[in-house]
Amino acid sequence: MKKRNSASKWIVSFFALVLVLCVLLSLAAYAVDPFFQFRFNRAYLMNSDIASGLVKHYDYDTLIVGSSITQNFRMNTFRDELNVEPLHIGLGGISLRIIEDCMKIAYRAGHAETYYIAVDPYLFYDVKNHHPLEFYFQDGLLPKLRYLLSNKVWFHYLPLDLGLGILDRLGKESPLAGDICTPENIDHFGDWSDKFEFGEDVVLDNYRSSRYSIKEIETDDLYNTMVSRIDHLMERLDFGKGKHVFFFPPYSSLYWSDMQLDGYYEDLIQAKRYFIEKAFEHGAVVFDFQPAELTGNLNNYKDTTHYTPEINDWMVRCFASGEHLVTSENMEAGLEQLKENTDRFREAHIDLLMESRMTEE
């Protein structure tokens, strides 16, 4: 009997200790809040996990949302050209689902008066139904508990934030200075511009090696698939919450030439036309940078889709001036210009394009 009581007490003591540790670690997670789920404090690491927390608690009046092609936007250019206080949420390979969740949080937070949303074609033909950051974008008690009890928070970021916070208070320089971010560096969230080289030779090398190639698209009923997903997005956006500005990023003419030769081009253009018309129905603003002359100059790129920060700056100046603003009157002219640019580039580089296809075979 005594052995049984002793074993019972040991089990109770063990679970009590575990419970106390969980409570203490959860309280520490709440106090430090490394992913800003309860408040914005100080960012030490630029990590996609902080995206939803920034949308909830950062101080901004303009939100920019998009994939890696938006990550080199310079927030000071937005401030100078548009006189706004911006927040940029650029996530590499962002999915339609994450955009919808991000916008839902932004609407609830109520900070933004204007939303800039990048429209990548892949969003509508390569939709991912799940993303690892999903519970950060959810509201309610259970997602918050999951965050406070997260192994990732407890054992990865909590010790880091606590340690760096102590060093900061002691006036000591962090040994991880190259990876650490201070509050003003939120402007550079996701910025990769200093990690890659740009130029025609780089683009062609990457193209020939298929390093950043566009994966094969499912062509069966492609247009209707894209239309369905465009409708899905439009239904989930609340256009009464502020000004919505959609923009088509200036992919290179090499990208569009690929789409032509692979048989996707016409469906993508038709879906693009449909998107613009739906956006107009909801009172949204659309900028189309894809017919721009600069898309034929591969020195502006590192691969078929990603361009230099100077192009990002140019786009912001266009937002301010109205250049490349789409209207009902000029929409078709823009689509025709894109086709002319693509045809011209394809004819000039047909050997390169065909060589790439023979290599793939």
Question: For the chain, where are the alpha helices, taking DSSP H only?
Answer: 2-32, 51-57, 75-82, 96-109, 141-148, 151-152, 158-169, 200-208, 222-236, 253-262, 265-281, 309-321, 331-348, 350-360
Tell me: the pLDDT tens digits for 229-284?
999 999 999 999 999 999 999 999 999 999 998 888 999 999 999 999 999 999 99
Three-state helix/strand/coil letters over 158-187: HHHHHHHHHHHHCCCCCCCHHHECCHHHHH
255 inside domain: yes
pLDDT at 46 over 80: no
Q: Residues 247, 117: contact at Cβ < 8 Å?
A: yes
- Res. 318 pLDDT band, cuts 50 70 90: very high
Beta-bridged to residue 160, according to DSSP, are none
| CATH code of the domain in which 322 resides | 3.40.50.1110
- Res. 184 pLDDT band, cuts 50 70 90: low
Rg of the chain over Cα atoms, rounded to whole angstroms, equals: 24
Q: Which of 35, 100, 39 is nearest to 65 (CA)?
A: 100
139 inside domain: no
46 inside domain: no
Q: Is the pTM of this model over 0.95?
A: no
301 inside domain: yes
Q: Which domain holds residue 337?
A: 58-132+184-360
Total Cβ atoms within 10 A of residue 290: 26
- Looking at the 3D structure of the chain, how many domains does it have? 1
Distance CA 49, CA 55 (A): 12
> Could you give the C-alpha distances from 47 to 91, 129, 137, 222, 342, in angstroms and in order?
10, 21, 15, 34, 36
20 inside domain: no
- Res. 93 pLDDT band, cuts 50 70 90: confident
pLDDT at 4 over 90: no
Q: What is the mean pLDDT of residues 131-141?
A: 71
272 inside domain: yes
Distance CA 361, CA 359 (A): 5
8-state DSSP, 308: -
The residues, any chain, with a CB within 8 Å of residue 264's CB and separated by 6 or more, are: 217, 219, 222
Distance CA 300, CA 200 (A): 8
pLDDT at 174 over 70: no
**Overall residue count recorded for the chain in this entry:** 361
Sheet holding 243-248, edge to edge: 86-90, 62-66, 114-118, 243-248, 285-288
Sort strands 243-248 and 285-288 into parallel, antiparallel or unpaired: parallel
